[in-house]
Structure 1
């Protein structure tokens, strides 16, 4: 695969408090993929995106976009010369401009190019309206259309779904992925939300304390976390031995189980129950679909998935 973004030994330290936001990061993004930086608030992910965009200056390292160095010791191209486009959390639409004017703002796009983008983003017929007249989903499409019409090589998305309620979020997430793939554009997506990352991404990088801890597909990082932090961040785990852990869905309560325990607590989460069981010398979390379990009940259980060791 062609690597469209290459980052080498990227470093950024904020002098106030001597906080390391990027600690010699090495990373590559393939052409046409949706690549996600997943991390908690303060992990450095948004600063990383801003350094790719040219909105923040690194202290050291190199950044290349489409085989062209955009930052090094001797180079620091402006955002408009980097072939990148940023979609911010609030979409940054101009309220006094029509939809078509928002899309073409700062662009030299032709009328035909505008028509093509309007068609592909399902905004045809909305071009003469103003941002406040559109739904949240339509506003997201306008922000994407504006980014895409400038023929950027990479689309940078800074938590565009973070301020949206749960019901609409699922719909917009689907639309976002469909449009990115339809335009065959490379996207770097920044989020703290694991569900968004798992749904959207071809690959995920887990970031913490200015470091990239692990890179892989959603399945790879979830089932084969490289360390205890990654394992905990991506889902609940239960400790079995000193350095051995298991996920709750890999413990099964069943009549033919090898081990015995007593149910201490049951929490209903809609699609499953989270069961706390006491084995006599440890407490385990179990995810179950069984509607007939009760607190105080004696049960048998077995392990039916891979153990995690660190």
Structure 2
């Protein structure tokens, strides 16, 4: 196994029983991309630091290619040479050119380094000083600085958090090309579902220091274990069990008390009010490529419905039906 995280626990401090992480277990296979997802304070950054060898766990171990990853209490210099960690609070030395920073730890031949710099879109920045590059450019330089040390696992802590749209798209392209060309493993923490759903193989969800769910992006999106998991990946509607029969919803575990979760794109609206479930359009929000319609129903309260280029207006009476989509019950 490429990476094993076994029974990792971490307290806020040694004088109390308030846990940042408790009994964390998961594995990573070769060439697998994993995302950690969770609300602020869920323990994502602490877990990433422990995996990278930058923070000492209070219990449990991390094994990288069969060998234990030592924490800072177990070795003089923290970190692991096969694991690169890009913090969301990274720094670049002042008064140095980008080339000088990259040359310091470069373990690549000249041609390989030039190829890497081209992939990272920084070849035109090499002769600039660190105070002459933008935030997005600094992020790519910091990533290149890690990659020239030839790690096998890249750990990214909220890599897109402070980037504008253009620089975020460039960095996403860079990471995709690195994953394809370098055949590296990645673990990334992000709060934005659009950063994780299209890119990773597995998502691990943390809540209050515990793993509550892990699975493929499709499984996490369509089969969340609770409303917390559902809410991390976009808007959703809760359909009470009493309303399920009206929409022909069927639970996967056949419990009559199940509530259901429907994503906005799983509901369809019809511009008339002669169906089993009817409502009134409260609001229409233009969101670029689609409209989000808020419909008030007597059976389920307000529902969010996604449509492209709707002609509905606030005050319109509508019938609510179900599209042919996977259904979530919990």
1:128 and 2:127 correspond? yes
Determine if contact 2:36/2:44 at 8 Å carries over to the other structure: yes
Cα offsets for 1:180-222 (capped at 9, x unmatched): 3322211111112222122332221111111122222222210
Which residue pairs with 1:287 in the alignment? 306
Structure 2: runs of 5 or more not aligned = 242-258
Distance in structure 2 (CA, Å) of the matches to 1:90 and 1:115: 26
1:251 and 2:267 correspond? yes
Q: How far apart are residue 269 of structure 1 and its match?
A: 2.1
Distance 1:280 1:113, change over 3 A: closer
Q: How far apart are residue 119 of structure 1 and its match?
A: 4.3
Q: How far apart are residue 122 of structure 1 and its match?
A: 4.1
Choose which of 279, 299, 305 in structure 1 pairs with 2:318.
299
Distance in structure 2 (CA, Å) of the matches to 1:82 and 1:303: 52
Q: CA RMSD in A?
A: 2.6
Structure 1: runs of 5 or more not aligned = none
1:87 and 2:106 correspond? no
1:272 and 2:290 correspond? yes
Determine if contact 2:6/2:26 at 8 Å carries over to the other structure: yes
TM, length-normalised to structure 2: 0.83
Which residue pairs with 2:52 in the alignment? 53
1:1-310 correspondence runs (5 A): 3-15=1-13, 18-71=17-70, 78-107=77-106, 109=108, 111=110, 113-242=112-241, 243-254=259-270, 259-283=277-301, 284-304=303-323, 305-310=325-330
Q: How far apart are residue 120 of structure 1 and its match?
A: 4.1
- Name the count of aligned residue pairs: 307
Distance in structure 1 (CA, Å) of the matches to 2:152 and 2:109: 19
Which structure has the highest strand share of the two?
1
Give the 3-state SS of the residue equivalent to 2:61 in structure 1: strand
Cα offsets for 1:279-301 (capped at 9, x unmatched): 33332222222431122212222
